[in-house]
């Protein structure tokens, strides 16, 4: 690969990752409602997902997936359903927290909407935290949330095929592929860690933690909209 090809690859990559999407939304939600460390781990998880996509693209696996209609359909539907589940859980937690505040209890610590949900909804709300929520978010869960959310966005198949087909030669050497991988990972990690750092700036985070219900509701609605759009694209476009 030439220097111009590397530059073009990085330019397209940067344009793709800075576009608002589920990855950025998840990192910001965790940054606003948990801690900087957990937001950073969420960002690392996102890049683990991207590492998998990049590796699959360099080895030609994404082309195989794209050419197999049934396999691609299964991956797209599964990804959309996961994002829908993420959105549902976040929306439910936010609505439960708002209801609790309206009831005037005021006993919920900032950033723990799922715990509030458990106090007012009984079993129906007891799982508002879990793997996908912000309640009792551990380092491992934060990492896993980032990875799964990134992999669930099946539009990545199309994005990476277009990214590599545009500027990466078919006869790319193995060491050139490693350089491309390292460049994409370094730039992507720097961007998502910056998002996590900015979102967890104490003065900013405190404001959002005071509005934790609204943060969860907005995040839930956006996740659900993305999931619906993905499903519509699968069913209509095919």
CA distance 145 to 42: 6
- Alpha-carbon Rg for the chain in angstroms: 19
pLDDT, average across residues 212-222: 91
In sequence order, which residues have a C-beta less than 8 Å from that of residue 78 and are 6 or more positions away? 152, 154
Degrees to nearest 5, angle at CA 220 with 214 and 223 = 140
Q: What pLDDT is recorded for position 104?
A: 65
The rounded distance, in Å, linking the Cα atoms of 196 and 32 is 9
Can you read off the two tokens belonging to residue 177? 């592929």
**Positive or negative: CA dihedral 205, 206, 211, 212:** positive
pLDDT(147) > 50:
yes
Secondary structure of residue 43 in the 3-state scheme: helix
Cβ atoms of residues 92 and 220 within 8 Å: yes
pLDDT at residue 129, rounded to an integer: 57
> 1 pLDDT exceeds 50?
yes
Q: What's the mean per-residue pLDDT of the chain?
A: 85
Q: Of 91, 83, 94, 93, give the one whose Cα is nearest residue 228.
A: 83
Comparing CA positions, the residue from 102, 109, 98, 96 lying closest to residue 34 is: 109
Q: Does the pLDDT at position 21 exceed 80?
A: yes
CA atoms within 13 A on the CB side of 149: 31
**pLDDT confidence tier of residue 78, bands split at 50, 70 and 90:** very high
Query: pTM of the entire structure?
Result: 0.84
Q: Which residue has 């781990």 as its token pair?
A: 41
Residue 9 has pLDDT above 50, yes or no: yes
Domain boundaries, the chain: 23-237
Whole-angstrom distance, CA of residue 127 vs CA of residue 29:
18
């Amino acid at each position: 690969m030439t220097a111009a090809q590397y530059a073009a690859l990085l330019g397209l990559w940067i344009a793709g990752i800075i576009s608002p999407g589920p990855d950025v939304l998840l990192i910001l939600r965790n940054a606003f409602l948990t801690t900087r460390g957990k937001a950073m781990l969420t960002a690392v998880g996102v890049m683990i997902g991207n590492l998998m996509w990049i590796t699959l693209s360099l080895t030609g696996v994404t082309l195989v997936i794209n050419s197999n209609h049934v396999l691609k359909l299964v991956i797209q539907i599964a990804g959309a359903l996961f994002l829908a589940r993420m959105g549902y859980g976040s929306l439910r937690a936010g609505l439960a927290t708002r209801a609790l505040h309206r009831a005037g209890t005021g006993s919920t610590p900032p950033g723990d909407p799922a715990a509030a949900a458990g106090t007012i909804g009984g079993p129906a709300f007891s799982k508002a935290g879990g793997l996908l929520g912000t309640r009792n978010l551990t380092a491992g869960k934060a990492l896993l949330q980032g990875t799964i959310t990134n992999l669930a966005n099946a539009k990545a198949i199309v994005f990476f095929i277009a990214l590599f087909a545009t500027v990466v030669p078919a006869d790319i050497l193995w060491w050139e592929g490693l350089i491309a991988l390292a460049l994409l990972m370094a730039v992507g990690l720097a961007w998502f860690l910056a998002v996590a750092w900015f979102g967890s700036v104490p003065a900013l985070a405190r404001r959002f933690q005071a509005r934790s219900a609204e943060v969860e509701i907005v995040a839930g609605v956006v996740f659900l909209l993305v999931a619906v759009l993905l499903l519509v694209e699968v069913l209509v476009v095919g």
